Amino acid sequence: MKVTAAKVADITVARLLRLPAFSIVVLDRAYLDFNWLHKLTAKKVFFVTRMKKGIKYRVIKRRKVIKTKGLTSDHTILLTGTKAEDCPIELRCVGYRDKETGQQ
């Protein structure tokens, strides 16, 4: 844990963390620093986040989903937008819609 002044961005501190291999990090969309996420993956640190709107990617593989569980998609993707070179690895993109609220 690190306590900083309010004006220090969370991502600045997050980049300094030494996470052990096979950790799972849950991130807010504000943390979509693809270069940092690529470095985490190289260290065998897994992450889960919601994707920002407008992120450009290409679907490499589609998997079947169990729609009764709320899954809407399950794809392996490659980033194609301006930040694609920061994270040149395949990522998994899973879509979900909450049955009760309808939110994705």
Dist CA 80 CA 51 (whole Å): 14
Q: What confidence score (pLDDT) does residue 48 get?
A: 92
pLDDT digits (tens, 9 = 90+) for 52-63: 888 999 999 999
**DSSP assignment string, 33-69:** -HHHHHHHHHTT-EEEEPPPTT--EEEEEE----GGG
pLDDT digits (tens, 9 = 90+) for 10-54: 788 888 889 999 999 988 776 678 899 999 999 999 999 988 888
Q: What confidence score (pLDDT) does residue 31 get?
A: 67
Q: Is the pTM of this model over 0.85?
A: no
